Structure 1
């Protein structure tokens, strides 16, 4: 009898311990077919292309996330998330097993969460959701030129410590610091960012900033710039991003306005096209991007969504031999229909025109996800696909 009671007590203790912890396996696959009007070939000529595409809206991923209740409102938390191509099965983010996210930390119901590892910056966390480039609606194709503000979370930051507050009556805020890991040069390839979002009824306001010193300076530090990574879009002396955004819900519709600015000093190279090898600017170059976006999304039915955005980017490209003012105009539209809570089909299209970029590496239009820049100043991209969450 005592053995039975002891066994029963042991089972109850184990069951209670398991109930206080949770581990979840999850993922997403986004596959489709795309058409691009002009894709620059190795000879320099342009040609249309029909190609199998993945991650048209969001990157393919799988991950494990979990939490352990430590009592008193305190939890140990973690997330491991890897990106892959569902067309080839290969790993993304330079072949990393958990290239999208890899962090561990503590969360408290009264004070917020503190996490350490490979993580998203505050622009991604707070400001980017006001844009269709990072709202699980438009994705990479809707991003601003070269994703210069990281709204489409093209990169993550290594060696980072992040704080995220709890919700204080609609206000959330946080910040991140990513270490350089360079002995004798604390500032080389380090990053820091901060942001906040305030939600009250139908209105949501957001603001954020980020600074990276010497982004892409080698594989160590905050932003991996090695040729096998593809993390660093720009190789420069300094990259700064800041901006504000607003969304307003009107029944089944949500409208948004976003402004962001990116400033790169002493830029040496830019990641363009489908190659991880960055394109040289020729000499130390001052790059500036002012991005303006107006967007709308509308639920025709609970299962049927339509969305559209217009973006205008006012640029500046100046060095010892060039002083240009490139400008990008882009129109984006999409529709998606949910077949279930986890599966939907979609159709999307983007058109971009660039002007004032003669004599710079931005002379050809380049829509994110098009597979490469155009040989002319115009490019059209359309994609149809299926997206499944699990």
Structure 2
């Protein structure tokens, strides 16, 4: 990603003679055209659709990041990152100016400490083992309803995060996000931790996250306003954990990842931009176990092919219904780089859900499809262009 660098000598303003600052402006636009085989319309019927799409693989964004050398190995650092729609230019993340990330911190020879709106440790350490969080697959490959946060859909506000340096391949970190609520310290607060280890072609990762009363109001760790997109589920407790690994064999990288998500006393789940409510007066316990196998093949330095398969075993339980929905999703994509900053891609996904009848999960739903299917199957295909700057 080509970066615009501006270096300013702090001696010019009489601070520290040898201190320097750097500021980097960067961004990405991912736009395309998509086809979905079945979207449920207001009448309940299913209709196919061809539509202009954006952020098929990664979210459109622009941002600025910077660092100031304080001497002795210390740096003051910051990042401000805006999310927008490439099809209409509108703000994402509920209209926030810097809805993707907004933090400031310090880096040292031992690690970094940052404060602000940030990603949790599951996203930092575990999700990279999946094609759901990468420049190959991305948002359309994420697991059902992004139940394990692998799709980078949600961020945590009021967060304090530590990330270690690389200790001969070992990295670790943790995060705590405050509720900011007087008299309700644990109401909509979050904490997480994770680690990864790399040695030669092999990488293994693990992560954990817990949020108490996620999405309860807009002032806590997870913004629950209907337009923010942060709270994909409303529940009394949300927990995610898992582990995964990858192994590179020449131009081929093989990956396996497992994640488990637990939602206690769930009242709603977002499927697209619409909240599907649990039956009135029946808080529901939900569990998801996601098993993903993936492969990436660098055919040439400019041409890559990637594929993945995810099996998601679910449990849905309240006073009237006990169900075991199961999702099978197959994903395939190819991308060709026209330059270091520009590539074109073609991707396709097929999802089939069973055992979901009588629950809010009745009907397949692929991320980025625009909404659930009227049947238990859905197919989505996208072609697009990405430009980084």
Q: TM-score range by the shorter chain?
A: over 0.9
Structure 1 position 140, deviation (Å): 1.0
Question: In the alignment, is residue 114 of structure 1 matched against residue 110 of structure 2?
Answer: no
| Residues in 1 aligned to 2:286 and 2:11: alpha-carbon distance in whole angstroms | 61
Structure 1 position 72, deviation (Å): 0.5
Structure 1 position 43, deviation (Å): 1.2
Instruction: Map residues 42-81 of structure 1 onto 2, 5 A cutoff.
Output: 42-81=42-81
**1:267 equivalent in structure 2:** 266
**2:41 equivalent in structure 1:** 41
**1:340 equivalent in structure 2:** 339
Structure 1 position 69, deviation (Å): 0.2
| Residues in 1 aligned to 2:140 and 2:168: alpha-carbon distance in whole angstroms | 34
Q: Deviations over 1:92-128 (max 9, x none)?
A: 00000000000000000x2100000000000000000
SS in 2 for 1:152: coil
Larger radius of gyration: 1
Q: Deviations over 1:1-42 (max 9, x none)?
A: xxxxxxxxxx99439969721001100000000000000101
Structure 1 position 231, deviation (Å): 1.2
TM-score (norm 2): 0.95
Q: Deviations over 1:182-211 (max 9, x none)?
A: 100110000000000100000000000000
Task: Indicate if the aligned counterparts of 2:10 and 2:18 stay in contact, CA closer than 8 A.
Answer: no
**1:86 equivalent in structure 2:** 86
Question: In the alignment, is residue 234 of structure 1 matched against residue 233 of structure 2?
Answer: yes
SS in 1 for 2:226: coil
SS in 1 for 2:267: strand
Q: Deviations over 1:60-92 (max 9, x none)?
A: 000000000000100000000010001010000
Q: Deviations over 1:256-306 (max 9, x none)?
A: 00000000000000011233xx21111200000000000000000000000
Instruction: Map residues 138-177 of structure 1 onto 2, 5 A cutoff.
Output: 138-177=137-176
**1:3 equivalent in structure 2:** none
Instruction: Map residues 1-390 of structure 1 onto 2, 5 A cutoff.
Output: 13-14=11-12, 20-108=20-108, 110-275=109-274, 278-282=275-279, 283-390=282-389
SS in 1 for 2:59: coil
C-alpha RMSD over aligned residues? 1.3
| Residues in 2 aligned to 1:56 and 1:17: alpha-carbon distance in whole angstroms | 47
Task: Indicate if the aligned counterparts of 2:67 and 2:75 stay in contact, CA closer than 8 A.
Answer: yes
More helix by share: 1
SS in 2 for 1:128: helix
Task: Indicate if the aligned counterparts of 2:10 and 2:20 stay in contact, CA closer than 8 A.
Answer: no
SS in 1 for 2:283: strand
Stretches of structure 1 lacking an aligned partner (at least 5 in a row):
1-10
SS in 2 for 1:132: coil
| Residues in 2 aligned to 1:359 and 1:253: alpha-carbon distance in whole angstroms | 42
| Residues in 2 aligned to 1:50 and 1:292: alpha-carbon distance in whole angstroms | 30
SS in 2 for 1:194: strand
| Residues in 2 aligned to 1:12 and 1:126: alpha-carbon distance in whole angstroms | 35
